[in-house]
């Protein structure tokens, strides 16, 4: 059991921020040792590290942090639904547009998911997000055919299998939540960087002229 | 040959913006028909559509648009290097940090590229971008091992092969440049959305409890 100053030192979160989280109910109260003092346990430290990873690492707004923490504390929510709550909270919202491209793109999204047999909730915010990307490409006069979508989907699935390998169902639930929060933002960035490197490699093999410059 | 008003209608770019691009030299001058009038060809329309795709579609600053257009017009630059110019212009710059995590992450990036035998220029801005993502994950106390990196790299390479399938070396160079500009931004978004959907599918298969709710 430690005082708030030590909790701050161990977590790297300033005392003023810890007090704010306590007032907002994001962090449970410590055990009172006097009228103005309280002590905090390992549980507080884990929770604090998680809030920090969500807020600083992934830029999650505090209202969504609260929804995640509620799901975390609700033992009626299984790990699958807990991770879904985190992922949905981290996915930017997409507003559908009433255009022919949107409707065609939405059909592409639905057909792709049906073709692959993926188990995805109708309420997943990643559905309109995918539709938006396809509709934007179409709006610029390009087609996104089933072959492209299938290739991308298979590649995405390979990385998702690996992501889930890294989730230990026996570990504390906080750990899994923190992990998903990190996967969603940073592993996406990693993959985007690797795509740029891979594009250069494929281009070098296929398109490089006779000049020996890089 | 069409007047500026028709060029605006065909391209969807306002006349004032077209005149700005003409003044800035991003768009070549039309053929003068009088002291105050000029007409424009199919070449102008193609160029204008490209500038629009770069600026509006991908948010490229005008100085970088100019670098891309210069490479496009320089027939001494082969298609591989032209596409590289576009990709590098579209990649956000990453500032290296002097931390142990950065150095370890940089070693991971270099070892990965060597292990895979990818042909990537030492000056590619995607190298520090990948290093930054790995270093950030490490800074949060997680490891990014070779198995994870290899899985992600293989997935990235699959999508890159497909991206290059869609480049026609016989088409006008503008078309290839426009294509890469779109691939880099929108296909990244598409893959990120597909990753979220794939993660939900894998999680549903592995982690879903006995409750039948979605």
CATH number of the domain encompassing residue A55? 1.10.1660.10
Specify the pLDDT at position B23. 93
Number of domains present in the structure of chain A: 2
Q: Do B191 and A155 touch (CB under 8 A)?
A: yes
Mutate to test the interface with B, among A200, A204, A210, A211 (most CBs of B within 10 A): A200
Decide if B195 contacts A159 (C-beta within 8 A): yes
CA distances from B96 to A53, B64, B107, B129, B153 (A): 22, 22, 13, 9, 22
Boundary-marking domain end, from A154, A175, A207 = A154
Structural domain contains residue A212: no
Structural domain contains residue B13: no
Residue pLDDT, tens place only, B52-72: 878 876 778 888 899 899 999
Query: B23 and chain A: CB distance < 8 Å anywhere?
Result: no
CA distances from B19 to A51, B27, B30, B59 (A): 51, 9, 11, 20
Structural domain contains residue A142: yes
Q: Which of residues 177-206 of A touch B (CB under 8 A)?
A: 179, 182-184, 186-206
CA distance A196 to A202: 10
Q: Which domain holds residue B196?
A: 90-201
Specify the pLDDT at position B179. 85
Specify the pLDDT at position A206. 94
Q: Do A214 and B155 touch (CB under 8 A)?
A: no
Specify the pLDDT at position B105. 97
CA distances from B140 to A4, A22, A53, A64, B40 (A): 22, 23, 8, 21, 56
Residue identified by tokens 């100053």 is A5
- Phi–psi pair at A24, nearest 5 degrees: -80, -5
Specify the pLDDT at position B185. 78
Boundary-marking domain end, from A133, A154, A175 = A154
DSSP B117: T
Structural domain contains residue B180: yes
- Phi–psi pair at B192, nearest 5 degrees: -65, -40
Pair (A69, A12) in one structural domain: yes
CA distance A173 to B81: 48
| Rg of chain B taking only CA atoms, in angstroms | 22
CA distance B22 to B34: 17
Between A200 and A36, residue with greater pLDDT: A200
**Per-position b or e across B114-148, b if 16+ CB within 10 A of its CB:** eebebbbbeebbbbbbbbbbbbbbbbbebebeeeb
Average the pLDDT over B171-179 and give the result. Answer: 87
pLDDT reading at A25 higher than 50:
yes
Residue identified by tokens 């026996």 is A170
Decide if B182 contacts B202 (C-beta within 8 A): no
Contacts of B207 in chain A (CB under 8 A): 78-80, 83, 164, 167, 169
Pair (A108, A71) in one structural domain: no
DSSP B110: H
Local confidence band at B127 (pLDDT 50, 70, 90 cut-offs): very high
| Rg of chain A taking only CA atoms, in angstroms | 22
Q: Average model confidence (pLDDT) for chain A?
A: 90
Pair (A48, A107) in one structural domain: no
Structural domain contains residue A25: yes
Specify the pLDDT at position B11. 87
> What tokens were used for A200?
């250069």
Specify the pLDDT at position A214. 41
Return the bridge partners of A18, or none.
none
Cα B68 to chain centroid distance, Å, stands at 12
Specify the pLDDT at position B21. 93
Average the pLDDT over A22-44 and give the result. Answer: 91
Query: Which residue, among B205, B146, B201, B133, has the nearest Cα to A157 in the 3D structure?
Result: B201
Closest-CA residue of chain A to B199 = A160
Percentage of chain B exceeding pLDDT 70: 97
């Amino acid at each position: 059991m430690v005082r708030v100053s030590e909790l701050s030192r161990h977590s790297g979160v300033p005392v003023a921020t810890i007090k704010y989280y306590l007032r907002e109910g994001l962090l449970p109260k410590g055990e009172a040792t006097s009228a103005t003092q309280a002590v905090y346990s390992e549980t507080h430290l884990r929770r604090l590290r998680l809030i920090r990873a969500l807020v600083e690492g992934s830029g999650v707004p505090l209202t969504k942090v609260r929804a995640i923490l509620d799901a975390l504390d609700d033992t009626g929510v299984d790990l699958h639904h807990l991770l879904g709550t985190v992922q949905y909270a981290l996915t930017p919202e997409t507003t559908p547009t009433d255009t022919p491209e949107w409707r065609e793109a939405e059909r592409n999204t639905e057909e792709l998911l049906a073709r692959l047999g993926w188990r995805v909730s109708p309420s997943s915010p990643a559905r309109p997000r995918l539709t938006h990307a396809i509709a934007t490409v179409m709006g610029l006069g390009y087609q996104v055919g089933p072959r492209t979508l299938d290739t991308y989907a298979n590649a995405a699935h390979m990385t998702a299998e690996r992501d889930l390998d890294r989730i230990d169902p026996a570990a504390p639930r906080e750990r899994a939540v923190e992990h998903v929060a990190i996967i969603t933002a940073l592993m996406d960035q990693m993959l985007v960087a690797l795509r740029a490197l891979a594009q250069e490699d494929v281009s070098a093999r296929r398109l490089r002229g006779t000049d020996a410059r890089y």
